[in-house]
Chain A
């Protein structure tokens, strides 16, 4: 550190040569960057290499080009997993957006018990997903399902459904749990956005005499669109790679009817020991995820710049 000439008031940040400050500054960032590069960047590259080789647990593989991906494309289970991943992502995302928007508006305005209600509403998102999923598994039990009991006693069903044992209800259950868990996230993000809307813009539109629908779709929606967009992209990235719900709730069953890519990659890669094939399945979505990530970051960067 440079010393300050007596009597002269100089900020040290200015007194120190700029290049030194920069070098030290980058050194402060280095540990975080190295940590992430070593345990996230390196495995990602290693995974891409694995996906192009026939590596197994006991064998260092040799380069086999895109064979793992071609094999996957001919694997009926992979096709099922890919289909289910896309169905779950699409349906669950649509449900999450609809419910999040509805809830964030329902929670607008001051009323008694609002903060208690908010605390309750975020519980599904804050409890570890493995623990809530196991509770749902018990609620969908083949013999003692409380969901069935309620539906039968409400007169909606004549007899209980084998929720996790039949294909369509099992998919429904996976989507339900995934949605139940993620709605609070969308809701609080949207509430943050709604709270921060500039009052003068709203007032101006009101003076213009826009009716309710116009106000909602022409003013509110464009204003919250960037936040909504970020929330959707984040959620899509995590839904497309989601594993815990399927792993614990259905295990991908019955007979792979709820199989998803991440869970299939786990089955092939870990108990199956086919590291190369497993890596290929896990990384299949990478191009899509990259695209979503770039979109999310561009939105964030633009807003950071505008702030």
Chain B
């Protein structure tokens, strides 16, 4: 599958040769320079989080210091403050529970839907799939105001369950679409062979189709998890008590007291919460791109 080709080191040789970029090897220096500049711009905010995390306040808030490096010995104070004086671990746990809940709801609803739309030759399946996918394009900012009422009526305001309930609306549409793509790639002969061997349709699905599509299930699950950790508006609107906030919200709201920003701990929190998500997201990036570009890369 083409998604695999994107991730590997295998280069798009044909396009490369076609544009005669090989002749531009002399311009290689320029290319490396451009890439280096862009890498610095990309990575600098992460460097900035890292170095701020380990700086003493006296070093951080002294305009005479060179901010790019340590002017006083590194310290763990900011991390200690984050872990001991805030509910950071509670927020992490909240995010984990929310994430697992969203993954479960997403898979329970999206796997059957994706399977049926991809493999049962339902009339209008393709159109239905595209309509479900279209709902992925409804941004939370359009509907958060009426949703506050819905969450209120259900009695879920200011609980993590409001987020478990609402966030799958972002992950289900995309996951159905993603899984349709994976299920389509399972050859019909394999499933039919299992049926002929006496397996029921359920057995065929659980013993043959799902194991073959496990990369797709993993991608849909990781997508749902990452989406639930990326969310900001819904947590902002639906949770207000410190104890029920997910980590992305807790870090950026509870380390600001009035006009006082705890920058060292803020950056520590951003780094500790952000990097795992970034790495997780990186793993299924190719599947995500495959989903977005659909048939275009087949």
A residues within 8 Å of B by Cβ?
Answer: 1, 9, 11-13, 21-22, 24-26, 28-29, 31-33, 35-36, 39-44, 46-47, 50, 99, 102-103, 106-110, 114-115, 117, 119-136, 138-139, 141, 143-144, 146, 149, 180, 184, 188-189, 191-197, 199, 202-203, 205-206, 212, 215-216, 219-220, 226-227, 230-231, 234, 237-238, 241-244, 247-248, 262, 265-266, 269-270, 275, 278-279, 282-283, 285-286, 289, 292-293, 296-297, 300-301, 303-307
Contact = CB atoms under 8 A, between A and B. Distances in A.
Given A130-B248, A134-B270, A40 B138 contact: yes
Interface in B147-167: 147-150, 165-166
A144 B143 contact: no
Contacts of A9: 196
A138 B177 CA distance: 38
Nearest to A34: B109
B73 interface: no
Interface residues of B, number: 118
B279 to A, nearest CB: 8
Contact of B143 (A43, A205, A275): A43
A227 B169 CA distance: 25
A11 B192 contact: yes
B37 to A, nearest CB: 11
B112 interface: yes
18 contacts: A9-B196, A26-B116, A28-B120, A39-B147, A39-B150, A40-B169, A47-B146, A50-B145, A108-B16, A121-B39, A131-B251, A132-B45, A138-B261, A143-B63, A192-B290, A202-B14, A242-B141, A282-B142
A192 B233 CA distance: 30
B133 A297 contact: yes
A197 B120 CA distance: 31
A192 B297 contact: yes
A122 B230 contact: no
A120 B278 CA distance: 10
Q: Which of B145, B270, B289 has the most CB of A within 10 A?
A: B145
B172 A36 contact: yes
B42 A278 contact: no
B48 to A, nearest CB: 6
A32 B176 contact: yes
A18 to B, nearest CB: 9
